[in-house]
Amino acid sequence: MNLRYGVLLLISAALFGTAKAQTTPDFTKTSKGVLYHIYKSGDTTRIKLSDVITFNFIQKTDKDSVLTSSYANGGPVKIQIQPSQNVGDLMDIFPLFNQKDSAIVKVPTDSLFKGHEESRPPFLTKGSYLAFNIKIERVQSLADAIAERNAQMQQLKDAEASAITKYVADQKLNATTTLSGLKYVVTQPSIKAKPAKGDTVFVNYVGHTLAGKVFDTSLEPVAKMSSVYNPGRTYEPLKLVLGEGQVIQGWEEGLALLNEGSKATFVIPSSLAYGERGMSDDIRPFTPLVFELELVKVKHPHKAAVAKKPVKKTGTTAKKTPAKKK
């Protein structure tokens, strides 16, 4: 009985070893020592210099430990193919692929960390490779990619204008609109003076999207309630100098409209905020923002007293002419 099982185990091990050998890919080696293997071919659209490619990837160590992945990071990567700057940018490798190709790429870590070994992490030992599983999703010419992006940006821009109009209507805001497109409602008026350029202002604020998601605030209770609380932060009115570009343009314009001690709601279009770049997952390109602001205090800069210039005395004095006696 034991002999039979022993023979079966030997046969199974032999078959497994043969299968493993057959599935081991044959890699091609580049002049820079990078290994690659295309295990699933796509179409005939070859990647060229200056093309824009969209691809997914999984980055692993030699021991198959996943380091990062486009699938886990929210979506595929889009880059333009340019002359290679270093072996790790894969710019010499991408032109070897076609659209829809799936490939394994192994970059020698010794080349990656040549000249700065102190940066090598312990899990990338000498002689090891940094592996990439790559799927080329799409290949575009630069002109086509730019045209597509411009069309997408215009759609987002058009959608933003409609979203702002709907928000103001839904919230029943009797808003004033400035020439720049800033909309505001003073919710607590004040008769104190307005700040001027160069004044230091202290502002409490709550910033949220049109959907109501709070992304930043100077008020600790609001931060805790909105799950944006940072225990390492001091929650107090924000101090800034008006007119020095320390905040977004919508704030610069809006604060100058308020009197000290007043409160207001501002609906700020993306053109006065973070524009087509966006800033975060909450503030995407062409995202309008809503701020509840309180102008707590205005501090005017001290003006140095101007010293009076002394009157210069001339070196000559008028001679008195004695009156003649008659």
Encode pLDDT of 177-199 as tens digits.
999 999 999 999 999 999 999 99
Active site residue 286: no
Our answer to whether residue 216 is catalytic in this structure is: yes
Q: Known catalytic residue: 291?
A: yes
Q: Please indicate whether residue 205 is annotated as part of the active site.
A: yes
In angstroms, the CA 208 to CA 83 distance is 42
**Both tokens of residue 284?**
């995407």
Answer yes or no: 215 catalytic: yes
Which of 113, 215, 229, 235 is flagged as catalytic?
215
Q: Phi and psi of 168, rounded to 5°? A: -60, -40
Regarding predicted confidence, which is higher, 308 or 35?
35
- What pTM was computed for the model? 0.64
Q: Give the residues across from 26 on adjacent strands.
A: none
Tokens 């003006």, located at residue: 303
Q: What is the DSSP string of 72-140?
A: TTTS-EEEE----SSGGG-TTTGGG-BTT-EEEEEEEHHHHTTT-GGG--TTS-TT-EEEEEEEEEEEE
For the chain, the average pLDDT equals 89
Q: Is 274 a catalytic residue?
A: yes
Out of 97, 274, 283, 286, the active site residue is 274
| Domains of the chain, start order | 25-140 (3.10.50.40), 159-299 (3.10.50.40)
pLDDT digits (tens, 9 = 90+) for 223-271: 999 999 999 999 999 999 999 999 999 999 999 999 999 999 999 999 9
